[in-house]
Structure formats: structure tokens, C-alpha cells
Amino acid sequence: MRPISNTNIIGDLQKINFSLDDFSRLREEDYLYVDKTGMIEEIIKSGWGRVLLFTRPRRFGKSLNLSMLRYFFDMTEDSAAIFEGLYIGDTEYTRSHMNKFPILYLNFKNIALTSFVSAQESILWNLGNAANQLSEKMKIAELKEIAFSANDGSIMPDKLKDLTRILYTYTGKRTIVLIDEYDSVINRAYGRDFWREILIVMKDMFGALFKSNEYLETGVLTGVSRIGKELGFSDMNNLDVYGLTKRRYYEYFGFTESEVGKLLEKCGIEFSEGFYRMYNGYRYGESPFIFNTSSMLKFLDEFHMTGETYLSPYWINTSINNILKENIKKQGSRFKEMLLSLLEGSTTTQALFENVDYDNLHKPAYILSLMVDTGYLCPTRKMGGDVYELRIPNEEVLYGYRDMVDSIIDIEGDILDELCAALSACNSPDGAEKIEGILNRVLSQVSSYHDFSEKENSYHNFLLGALLFMLGRYEVKSNRESGHGRFDIVLIPHEVFADAYRPIIIEFKVAKEKLSVKEYCDDELLKLAESAIDQIIRMKYYDGFTDKYGKGDFVLIGIGAQGKRCRVSYGTVLGL
């Protein structure tokens, strides 16, 4: 393995294209590139003759790496110039392996899924197009027949194996098969009535290419997760899977800390603690932490355009997000409370499953395993066996949870938007009354699984989940030391909104005894809300933020609650 401290960054530092996944164009047009060609050497040394599956969340450079492999090995290309100056260009493999093999490259990202027929036709067209391109580039007429078979819908697994056989007959070389987003079709089709039919098509295709195919040299697949038994991968003895619990190859997907440090240094940007909290945090096995490739490039691109170092969230969810939401909704209180505590920054411990098992996705352990695959959670350390400590990777990913909040707390997004807007606009007791009305409507809609009886933490976690909708305008801080104690929730406006919004401190008080008479209940809950305001002032929770704000700038919100009823009080720090 090459030493990762030898960070090689080439190309125009201000020429960034975070969506470009054509390696040849990236190099020829001198776009910024962080050298990942050491992956080629490692595959030749340790993965040759195998089928390698790399699973990573989206936007970690999987497609660009596959394009890099394609241009390096493809015998129809002349790739010396685009690998010059890169790590692999100075190795013996440029002579022994560069442009020496036939390549079958497939990408399943944009398969049409309006029906089974359209999906099958789109898959077949994809295969036929690949065969047609190979026929034209390699001048092999026999490959045209396979392209025609695909166009008339008759191509089947034996024809795919025939393709690799024909390539071997004409070149004397076994084929390297590269498949990008191999699981995209299956994940996007999940929940539709033709999903299992699609599984059969994909299983037959992968079986023909990778199982007992004597004309296969090496296979490389990329995707978000490992789909095991449904695709027959479980009985492939030549398959090596490298996911988020495997350290090997970790430095080739995403940017290492040394690579990010060098990028920032070249741009004159300080590697701050805030930057680290926002973007760092992924680990493969127990590797050093890794940064998301796309997020880093978008951050640098915005810096070059504006001259500012805004810590914006760029993380993008995948189509698997819908699978997660659907199955999270089915979970009970323990699982949802655990997710809410993760939003607060805690960890959980779980045995992880290497394979996605769609028949068991209603079970918590399988949901958490899929959340690791998709980047919502990160294994921070191995506890023993298949058990890992899990947490949300960073603040950027925390933003991504906004799309799942309605599944976690069973409340529609519209009313949560209304609540967050009322909090942002609150500057008087009337504002607190409006918050109270909305919050009581929210609590009345909450499923009965929420146990709010005498549990302050339940209210805290519930509201914390709802406040994820405010992340675009505020930094949400929870349960941290400040002044003379630990506050419940503090909302600090992002710098660009500092003139529009005031910082907010929220404190909860929960009735310890059941209050049955409504008037008595309301009076007592209001007293609790007012005592929460007193506690904020007495404990000086605002002290940790007075470097940016005057003490009188803070909006204080006290909440007194019991069951699904609450009162809200408004306050400020007076006389300062």
C-alpha cells in the first residue's frame, strides 16, 4: 500500500467540477484532482482475479474511480498522457497493465423504472449499447449480434458470457468488468410491484458475468450497499466486499485529513474546529477519519466564487432515503427515542449486517446497518465481533436528517415548519403564546408511543428532532455546559442570518405529578414555564455565547409540560 502521507494534488486549484466523473476529461481539461491512482496498484497486487465490491455513501468519488480504472486498463485507449504526473504513472504497472485489457463498463444509475417492461428494456439497451461500442472500437462484428439481441429484448445471461468469450477469442485477454451503481435499480424499484422481477433480471445478469466465468479477468462494482442473497452474491466465492467496516482501500474514497489539510493550505484557509465538526467523521473499519469528496469540492468552489468560508451543508441523500423512512415509521418508541438521542450527539451500539436483507428491513438492526451504508451513521469503533459503536458522522449529515424527521416523530413537515417560523419570529409574550398553540397541536398529533409522563428527556429529544428544520438558519446546540450548568437547547443564528434572527435559549420543566383539572393544570404548567426562564437567567446559560451577542439579545423560552399539554413563557435578560 502506498503511504497516504504522499498527498498529490494536481490541476488548476480554482477549476473545480464536483459532478464530473469522466477521468480522461478531468485530466485533459486540467481540473483539480486529488491523486487516487494508488488504488490501481492495490487492485493489481491484492485484488487481481477477484470480484471487488466497494460500497460507500453517495458522493465519495466511486464513479470517478471506476472511470479511472476504465481508462487505465482499456486496450482501446492510449492513456499515458492522462496518468503522467500521477502516482501510478511512475510504477511498473504502466508497462505491464496500462491499456492491456478489454473492458466491459456498465452504469445502472439512469435506468427507467416506470414499469417492469420499461425497466427491462432500459437495462437491455444499456447492455446493447455497451456491446455496440465495443464492436465499433475493437472492430469485432460478432459483438454486433449481441447488441441486436439486446435491442430486440432477447439478450439473456448466456449472451453476456458470450460477450466476454468473444472478446477473449479476438484479443487473447480476459475481460475486466466494471459496473457503476450496481444496486441503484434495485433500491429505486423497492416497494414497487415489479421489484422481485427486477431482482431476477439483475441476479441472472450478475451471475453470468461473475460466477464461474472463465473469460473474466477481474470485476469491480460500486454501490451504496451489499445486496447479498437476493442477487446470489452470498454464494460467490470470488467476491471481496469493502464497505464501511473494512479498512482496506479506505483512502481512495473520500479525502483523507492530510489531503484536505493540503487543499486548505493551498487556498489559504484555516483548518478550523468548526470545519472539522461540519465535514469530518466517516471511518472505514477503524481507519483514520475521511471527508466526503463532493462536500469538500463544493466548499472550495464556493470559496473561490465568494471569497468566504461558509460552512454550508452539501450532503445529498440517496433514493434509499425513502426505504429508510418507510421502515423507520414502522418502529416503536425505543428505536425512535434512540434515533432522537443520536441527533443530540450520543452514540449507540449495534451488531451490523454486511448484507442488505430486504425481507428483514422492518427489524431495527437491519435499518441501522442500512443507515451505516448510506452515511447516516458511522461506526466509530469496533466493540468486538460484528458489534460497533455508532454515531452521526458530522454536522453536515445532521442536516440530512431533516428529511426523516417526520418519520421519526410522526409529525407532518408543514406544522413543524410553522413551529420553527414562530420560534424564529418570537420577540414578545404574544410570540410565546403562538408557540404554545402550535406546540400543543404538535403534541396532540404525536403517536401514543411517545412516553411523555414525567420524562423531561422525552420532550427534549422530541423538540430537538423538530428543530432540525431550523438548521438552515441556526446552529442547534443541545445539553452543553454554559454559565453555571447545562442548558437544554440553544439556537444560534448562522453568521449570514445574524442580523435577521436573535439567539434563542429553550429550557424544559416537566410536572412530576399528574394534574387532572385543566385550569389547575394550566396554572401549574405556566409556573413551571416561568421557573424555566428563571433558571436560564440564574444559571447564566447565555454566558458561553456573549462573545458574539449582548446579554439582552437572547430570547428565552421556558416550557412547562405534562403529557401532551404544555405552557410556554417568554423572557429576556433584563437590565444588562
SS3 244: coil
Question: Given the C-alpha cell 414499469, which residue does it identify?
Answer: 115
Nearest to 313 by CA among 296, 334, 288, 301: 296
Phi, psi of 493 (to 5 degrees): -60, 140
Residues 426 and 544 grouped into a single domain: yes
pLDDT given for residue 235 in this prediction: 64
251, 279, 294 — which closes off a domain? 251
3-state DSSP call for residue 324?
A: helix
Indicate whether 344 and 225 sit together in one domain.
Answer: no
Question: Does residue 371 sit in the same domain as residue 483?
Answer: no
398-436 residue pLDDT tens:
888 877 776 777 676 678 888 889 999 998 999 999 999
How much is the pLDDT for 145?
Answer: 78
Quick one: cell of 329? 415509521
Domain boundary pick from 335, 370, 402: 402
Helix (H, G, I), strand (E, B) or coil at 525: helix
Residue 16 lies in a domain: no
Q: 533 and 515: one domain?
A: yes
546 is written with which cell numbers? 456573549
* pLDDT number for residue 319: 52
C-alpha cell read off for 488 = 437544554
CATH for 232: 3.40.50
Contacts of 358-367 with C-beta under 8 Å, sequence gap 24+, read: 358/190, 358/227, 358/230, 361/323, 361/327, 362/327, 362/330, 364/331, 364/335, 367/324, 367/327, 367/328, 367/331, 367/335
Torsion of CA 318, 319, 321, 326, to 10 degrees: -170
Give the pLDDT score at 565.
Answer: 87
**Residue 446 vs residues 162, 405, 440, 466: alpha-carbon distances, Å:** 58, 13, 10, 12
Dist. CA 218–CA 220, nearest whole Å? 7
CA atoms of 505 and 489, how far apart (whole Å): 6
Kindly report the CA angle at 410 between 409 and 411, in degrees rounded to 5?
95
| Final residue belonging to a domain, choices 402, 422, 448 | 402
Instruction: Write out the residue range of the structural domain in which residue 367 sits.
Output: 320-402
- The verdict on residue 27 lying in a domain is no
Q: Is 490 within a domain?
A: yes
Could you give the angle at the alpha carbon of 207 between the alpha carbons of 202 and 211, nearest 5°? Answer: 160
Each of the 576 residues of the chain gets a pLDDT tens digit; together they read 444 446 899 999 999 988 899 999 999 999 999 999 999 999 999 999 999 999 998 889 999 999 999 999 999 999 999 999 999 999 999 999 999 999 999 998 888 888 888 888 888 888 888 888 999 999 998 888 777 666 555 556 667 888 999 999 999 999 999 999 998 888 888 888 998 888 888 888 888 889 889 999 999 999 998 887 667 666 677 889 998 888 999 999 999 999 999 999 999 998 888 898 899 989 888 888 899 999 999 999 999 999 988 888 888 655 567 788 888 888 887 888 888 888 878 899 999 988 888 888 889 999 999 999 989 999 988 998 889 999 999 988 988 887 777 677 767 667 888 888 999 999 899 999 999 999 998 888 775 545 555 466 677 777 888 887 787 788 888 888 899 999 999 999 887 788 889 999 999 998 876 666 566 588 889 999 999 999 999 999 999 888 778 777 899 999 998 888 899 999 988 644
Q: What local confidence, expressed as pLDDT, does residue 528 receive?
A: 94
Are residue 258 and residue 243 in the same domain, yes or no?
no
Strand (E) or helix (H) holding 509? strand 504-510
Q: What percent of the chain has pLDDT over 70?
A: 90
Write out the three cell numbers for 238: 470470488
- Position 30 scores a pLDDT of 96
Residue 51's Cα: distance from chain center in Å? 25
Residue 170: inside a domain: yes
Is the same domain home to 192 and 52? yes
Could you tell me the pTM of the whole model? 0.85
Whether residue 94 is found in the same domain as residue 175: yes
What are the distances in angstroms from CA 240 to CA 11, 233, 332?
33, 10, 36
Q: How many domains does the chain have?
A: 4
Strands 255-256, 290-291: pairing is antiparallel
In a domain, 26, yes or no: no
For residue 391, is it within any domain? Answer: yes
Q: Is residue 228 located within the same domain as residue 290?
A: no
| Same domain membership, residue 241 and residue 199 | yes
Do 225 and 130 share a structural domain? Answer: yes
Instruction: Assess whether 82 and 177 both reside in one domain.
Output: yes
Residue 23 lies in a domain: no
Is the same domain home to 415 and 529?
Answer: yes
Spatial distance between the Cα atoms of 381 and 241, rounded to a whole number of angstroms: 19
Is residue 186 included in any domain, yes or no? yes
